[in-house]
A and B are shown apart, each in its own frame.
Chain A
Amino acid sequence: MNRVKIILRGILGFVCSILLFGLVILTIFKLTIYNKNYVLNKMESENYYTKVYEEINNDMKNSLLSSGLDETVLEGLVTKNVVKKETKNLVGSIYTGSKFKADTDSFKEKLNANIDNYLNEKNIQVTDKKSLETFISNVVDVYKKEISLYGYLEDYVSKFVKIGNYLDMAIVIMTLLLLIFILILRYGLHRRYSGVIFMSAGLMLLYFKSYIYEQIDIKNILIISDSFSSLLRRILLDINDKFLFVLFIFILVGILLNLKNAFAKKRKKVKKIS
C-alpha cells in the first residue's frame, strides 16, 4: 500500500507540475497574442501606425517613378489617422474571424482628383486613358496590400480564432484538474506537494523558454514588412520577459513552500511525542 501511495503521489505530483506549466503558457498567450487590447497597445507603443504610414508613402512614391507624374499627386491621400483606423479594423476582423476590406473607394477618388488637378495645371493631355487607369489601379493595389499586410494573415485567421475558442476552455479545465489533484494529494495521499509543483513548473518553464528562445533568431525576423516584423519581434520579446518573470516567481514560491512544508513536518513529529 505504501509503495502504491508513493507511486501515486509521484504521478499526481508530476501531472500537477505539467498542468501548472501548461496553464502558465496558455494564460500568457491568452493575455498577449489572444488579447486584442494588448496587441493594439503594443502597436501604439511601437509606433506601428507611423511606420506603416511611412512604408505606404514610400511604396507609393516608388510606384510613381516611370509614370510621368510627380509626388504632388500623392498629397493628402493617406494620413496617419486613416492608417490607424484601417489597422484597428484589420485587427478587429482578425479577432472576430471576419474578412477585412480596406476602404479603397475614397483613396481612389482622391487619387483621381489629384491626378486631374496635376494634368490640368501642367496642361497635359493624356491620349492613352487605359494606361492611366492601370497606373491608378496599381497605386490603389499598393495601398491595399500595405494596409492589409498583403493578405498573408487571411489564411490563418480562421485557425487563429478556432484555437482562441479552445483556449478559454482549456484554461478552465486545466485549472479545475490542478485543484482536484492538489486536494487529492493533500488530503487523500497526505502529501504537501505544493512547493514541489511550483518549483518543478518553474524549472520546466526555464528549460522550455531557454530551449525555444535560444533557437529562434528573434532579432532577425523579417516577414511581410519592416513595421510588422518590428511589432512581432517586440511581442515575442515581451512574451519572453513574461515567461522569465513567472518562472522566477514560481521557483521562489516553490522554495518558500518547500521550506514551510519542511518546518510543518517537524512540528507534526514533535506533537506525536507528547
Chain B
Amino acid sequence: MHKKLKFNGKAFVTYVAISFLFVSIFILIVFFGLNNKIVRYVGLINTIAIEKKDNEKVLKFDSVKKRLTSYPAYGSKYANIKIEAIDLTLPVYYGDNLEILSHGIGHYAGSYFPGEGGTVILAGHNNSGYFDKILELKKDDTVIIDADYGTFKYKVDRTDIVNENNLEAFPIQNDREMLILYTCYPLGIGHKTERFLVYAYRAGDMNE
C-alpha cells in the first residue's frame, strides 16, 4: 500500500473556517443574549474603581450663580484657614474622615463651599497645632478662608457647646453664608461627647 502523506490545504482551511463560525455564533449569543447582564455586572465592579485624585484640578467659581463649576477631589487640599486673633494658619481639605483630620482641617462634604452663600462646616482636632485655640475666639474676631478660587472673610458671631449628637446645631441652609468651626470638647483624656462650636458670618452680612 502506497502511503503518501500530503497536506490537504482545503481541509485545513475548512477546519479553521468552522472554528471562526463557532466563535461568531458565540459572539452573537453573548452580544444579544447576555450583553445587558454583563454590562450590569461590569458596571457594578466599576463603581468600586475610583480614579486617582487629580491634585492639579483648577477650581473655578461662578460669581453669578454663586457656585463652584467643579469641586475638589475628596481628600484634596483646597484652601487655608487663617485666624489672626489666635495665630492660626492651617490647610483645609475636602472631607472629614480621621485620615484627613490628621493632616489639618476637614470640610464636611455635606455642607456648602465658601462663597456659595450657605453653611460651611469645618472640623479640626482639639490638639495643639489644630483647633485647640478656637476655644479662645470671641465675637467679631476675623476668620479668613483663602481658597484656591478666592478669599472669603468671616466675623465670629458666637460660640456654643453642644452634645456630639445634636445635629440641629449644624443647620445646612443657604439663606445666608455661615461658617461653623468645631472641635471636640472638653480637652482631656478619652472620648469627648461634646463639641465646641464657633459660628461666624460672612463679613458684610453681619447686619442683615
A binds B: yes
Are B12 and A258 touching (Cβ within 8 A)? yes
Closest residue to A269 on the B side, CB-wise? B8
**B residues less than 8 Å from A216 (CB atoms):** 42, 45-46, 49
Are B19 and A126 touching (Cβ within 8 A)? no
Query: Which of B5, B18, B126, B184 is in CB contact (< 8 Å) with A196?
Result: B18
Closest residue to A142 on the B side, CB-wise? B98
Q: Kindly state whether residue B58 has any CB partner on chain A within 8 Å.
A: no
Q: Kindly state whether residue B85 has any CB partner on chain A within 8 Å.
A: no
In the complex the two chains form, what is the Cα distance from A262 to B46 in whole Å? 46
Given A126-B190, A131-B191, A216-B49, are A65 and B102 neighbors across the interface (CB < 8 Å)? yes
Are A59 and B51 touching (Cβ within 8 A)? no
In the complex the two chains form, what is the Cα distance from A67 to B192 in whole Å? 8
| B24-32, B108-116, B170-178: which lies at the interface | B24-32
Q: Kindly state whether residue A215 has any CB partner on chain B within 8 Å.
A: yes
Are A62 and B101 touching (Cβ within 8 A)? yes
- Residues 175-198 of B at the A interface (beta carbon under 8 Å): 183-184, 187-193
Looking at the assembled complex, report how far the CB atom of B154 sits from the nearest CB atom of chain A, in whole angstroms: 24
Looking at the assembled complex, report how far the CB atom of B197 sits from the nearest CB atom of chain A, in whole angstroms: 15
**A residues less than 8 Å from B8 (CB atoms):** 262-263, 265-266
**A residues less than 8 Å from B2 (CB atoms):** 270, 274
Q: Kindly state whether residue B65 has any CB partner on chain A within 8 Å.
A: no
Give the A interface residue count (CB, 8 A). Answer: 58
**A residues less than 8 Å from B98 (CB atoms):** 59, 62-63, 65
**A residues less than 8 Å from B7 (CB atoms):** 259, 262-263, 266
Given A207-B26, A261-B11, are A221 and B49 neighbors across the interface (CB < 8 Å)? yes
Encoded as 1 (CB less than 8 Å from any A CB) or 0, chain B from 89 to 116 comes to: 0000000001101100000000000000
Are A65 and B48 touching (Cβ within 8 A)? no
Query: Which of A17, A65, A212, A220 is in CB contact (< 8 Å) with B38?
Result: A212
**B residues less than 8 Å from A193 (CB atoms):** 18
**B residues less than 8 Å from A199 (CB atoms):** 15-16, 19
In the complex the two chains form, what is the Cα distance from A32 to B143 in whole Å? 57
Query: Which of B16, B39, B189 is in CB contact (< 8 Å) with A132?
Result: B189
Given A68-B187, A68-B188, A135-B191, are A220 and B16 neighbors across the interface (CB < 8 Å)? no
Looking at the assembled complex, report how far the CB atom of B98 sits from the nearest CB atom of chain A, in whole angstroms: 4
**B residues less than 8 Å from A196 (CB atoms):** 15, 18-19, 22
- Residues 138-157 of A at the B interface (beta carbon under 8 Å): 138
**A residues less than 8 Å from B26 (CB atoms):** 17-18, 21, 200, 204, 207
In the complex the two chains form, what is the Cα distance from A196 to B21 in whole Å? 10
Looking at the assembled complex, report how far the CB atom of A127 sits from the nearest CB atom of chain B, in whole angstroms: 8
**A residues less than 8 Å from B19 (CB atoms):** 17, 195-196, 199-200, 203, 254, 258
Closest residue to A61 on the B side, CB-wise? B102
In the complex the two chains form, what is the Cα distance from A63 to B1 in whole Å? 89
**A residues less than 8 Å from B22 (CB atoms):** 13-14, 17, 196, 200, 204
In the complex the two chains form, what is the Cα distance from A212 to B102 in whole Å? 39
- Residues 228-265 of A at the B interface (beta carbon under 8 Å): 254-255, 258-259, 261-263, 265
Are A262 and B126 touching (Cβ within 8 A)? no
Looking at the assembled complex, report how far the CB atom of B150 sits from the nearest CB atom of chain A, in whole angstroms: 30
Closest residue to B6 on the A side, CB-wise? A266
Q: Kindly state whether residue A119 has any CB partner on chain B within 8 Å.
A: yes
In the complex the two chains form, what is the Cα distance from A59 to B11 in whole Å? 66
Query: Which of A131, A220, A261 is in CB contact (< 8 Å) with B190?
Result: A131
Q: Which of B15, B98, B184 lies at the interface centre, i.e. has the most chain A CB atoms within 10 A of its CB?
A: B15
**A residues less than 8 Å from B188 (CB atoms):** 68, 128, 131
Are A195 and B15 touching (Cβ within 8 A)? yes
In the complex the two chains form, what is the Cα distance from A101 to B59 in whole Å? 46
Residue positions of A touching B, CB distance < 8 A: 10, 13-14, 17-18, 21, 58-59, 61-63, 65-69, 119, 124, 126, 128, 131-135, 138, 193, 195-196, 199-200, 203-204, 207-208, 211-212, 215-218, 220-223, 254-255, 258-259, 261-263, 265-267, 270-271, 274
Give the top 8 A-B pairs by smallest Cβ distance, nearest first: A131-B190, A217-B49, A134-B191, A62-B98, A132-B190, A135-B191, A200-B22, A262-B12
